[in-house]
Chains A and B, each alone.
Chain A
């Protein structure tokens, strides 16, 4: 009985150990870099960094312009219209709920862009001729962070469209009431 317990323990430990090794291998393979790539990075270090600098500048512009647009949608349109609906004694809970979610998503977008920008800046500061592997891994990380920013944009756009459909529904549902009031 005791021996079987020990066997079970040894088996489970070896499964955990082998599983751990496989996981480490899998994650290493994700960021696998070939010797040829190392040479390419070393040889084209300056040009790759220039591409990254240009991307950082264009993304910063995109962040400013897009951030401004979302900010305006929230503060100039949504807030104003929500209050107007409420001031006229109509139920604005759907509008308010979407606006709240939109603002939360906007905050997430701001912070995820900040993380991405810091990541990309640190990539640019790496000496890729001396540390090509570290550079490559950091690029992979920055790529992931950029994808997250894109995911936030998709979420924000969904809320923008949702608000629009709620607006259409409001128009349809409340038209008789509006015409009755005025």
Chain B
């Protein structure tokens, strides 16, 4: 008798859940969508900042001035073919191509200087 009562209760609760879902299906759909999108956005933001992509993203606010100064590949620097013969001309051509890159690297002392020094920032230390 107890078993039958339990089964009846379970059935009632199932019917209750189903009827609740049917009654509020639109609200449940909206809530679930918001929760899922919230989770996905969080995962994306985590990957965006964690992978270092954020540091390369110059479309962020505050980078408008420098955005158009990105060096665009104009085809001058092509993929060096890994197949083909090896002779004086090949080595000379490669040396010329490589020299172009070396000149590019030498051109600016990247991250050199000391722009974060108190002097550069105008926070000049003086003795009291």
* Interface-side segment among B2-10, B14-22, B29-37, B77-85: B77-85
A161 to B115, CA, bound (A): 27
Interface flag for A34 (CB, 8 Å)? yes
CB of A34 within 8 A of CB of B125, answer yes
Residue in A36, A65, A88 whose beta carbon sits within 8 Å of that of B71 in the complex: A65
**Nearest Cβ distance between residue B58 and chain A, in whole angstroms?**
6
CB of B70 within 8 A of CB of A65, answer yes
A179 to B87, CA, bound (A): 7
Main secondary structure of the interface of B (DSSP, over half): loop
Give the chain A neighbours of B87 by CB distance below 8 A.
Answer: 178-179, 182
Interface flag for A17 (CB, 8 Å)? no
Given A64-B56, A114-B52, A83 contacting B82 (CB threshold 8 A):
yes
Residue in A33, A80, A164 whose beta carbon sits within 8 Å of that of B79 in the complex: A80
What range describes how many residues of A lie at the interface? 35 or more
Given A59-B111, A72-B101, A149-B111, A143 contacting B117 (CB threshold 8 A):
yes
Task: Mark B80-122 against chain A: 1 for CB-CB distance below 8 A, else 0.
Answer: 1111111110110011011101101110111110111110111
Chain B interface residues toward A at CB < 8 A: 52, 55-56, 58, 62-63, 65-66, 69-71, 73, 77-88, 90-91, 94-95, 97-99, 101-102, 104-106, 108-112, 114-118, 120-128
**What are 15 pairs between A and B in contact, CB < 8 Å?**
A34-B128, A51-B120, A55-B115, A60-B66, A68-B71, A68-B73, A72-B73, A76-B78, A84-B84, A84-B90, A88-B86, A150-B112, A164-B98, A164-B102, A178-B88
